[in-house]
Chains A and B, each alone.
Chain A
Amino acid sequence: MNGSALKIVIVPCSGMGKPYGTVSRVAAYRVTENGRPEHTQLVPLALLVMGDEEYGRIVAACPAITIDGCPQACATKMVRQSGGQVVRERSVMECFRHHRELKPQGIAELNDDGEALAEALAREIAADVDALTTSGEGVEHA
């Protein structure tokens, strides 16, 4: 996290049991690699929970957007438990409710509908990032 860019942490659950976990992962990559790379940073959930110092510092200093694939909301729960400030909770299921025509399938590799759902979710998150960086809500210069 170099320079003066505003950074928002993106934390997907990356669950393994259903395609929705993969949608969370792909949406996170789309935002952090393509959509808003200058304003976001991907944080791996497992490393954060297992006490990684570097990611712990980042999460403590920056607002987080979590992306959960199921109602257990593991990403949101664990970012909070790790001392992070969750400013937006995004849910794949909620996005799916708005895009019922998209039926995600595949865990190792999403089908076209799954990729489209990930893209729709990534657009919602990019809008969150824009709103947060514009308003400055919870966002500090890194």
Chain B
Amino acid sequence: MPDLPRTKVGVIACSGEELPEGTVTRLATLQVLHLLRPEDTVTICMPLFLAGGEGERNFAKCYPTIAVDGCEKRCAFRGTEKYSSRPAASIVVTDLIKERGLNQPHGCRMLDAAGMQAVELTAGLIAGMVDDLLGKGGR
């Protein structure tokens, strides 16, 4: 990674359509981008990144990224590493749900209460990772 000032962090969600946890990644990432850390983050559009979007791939080469995956297949992490650079941090929502003892989320299109709880938790963790990567951990 080139030695550029760390002013922004890219957040890459898998957005997996087949699992509620994929929707959790999408909503949590948007929550960080729009509400929690709007000044510090940009989203990297996963389909465009995978399809060869130069802007997305170059950003991920030059700036730190956080991969947010819904399941152990870790498409966001593996795709970022394969086509650009290894993410600086990562989250797997299924692991997080197990570790924290949360209820299993349901509803790919419309998450239930357990899914929204997972969104809140995931978003908070991403925001913390952003702070750490930008050296703002004390805020």
Contact = CB atoms under 8 A, between A and B. Distances in A.
Contact of B108 (A15, A29, A78): A29
Contacts of B92: none
B18 A78 contact: no
Contact of A50 (B29, B79, B109): B79
Contact of B17 (A15, A28, A74): A28
A107 B29 CA distance: 11
Interface of B: 13-18, 22, 26-27, 29-31, 34, 43-48, 50-51, 53, 73, 75-76, 78-79, 108-109
B-side binding surface: helix, strand, loop or mixed? helix
Contacts of B75: 46-47, 49-50
A75 interface: yes
B31 A16 contact: no
Interface residues on A, range: 20 to 34
Contacts of B22: 44
23 contacts: A12-B17, A16-B29, A16-B43, A17-B43, A17-B48, A25-B17, A28-B17, A33-B109, A44-B16, A44-B17, A44-B22, A45-B50, A46-B46, A46-B50, A47-B73, A49-B75, A50-B73, A50-B79, A74-B51, A75-B47, A78-B51, A108-B30, A108-B34
Given A46-B46, A108-B27, 18 more contacts: A14-B26, A14-B47, A15-B47, A15-B48, A16-B13, A16-B43, A17-B43, A25-B15, A26-B109, A42-B18, A44-B16, A44-B17, A44-B22, A45-B17, A46-B15, A50-B79, A74-B50, A108-B34
Contacts, number: 84
Contacts of B15: 14, 16, 25, 46
B27 A77 contact: no
A59 B46 CA distance: 20
Interface of A: 12-17, 21, 25-26, 28-29, 33, 42-47, 49-50, 52, 72, 74-75, 77-78, 107-108
Contacts of A26: 109
B76 to A, nearest CB: 7
Nearest to A17: B45
Contacts of B51: 72, 74, 77-78
A72 B53 contact: yes
B123 to A, nearest CB: 11
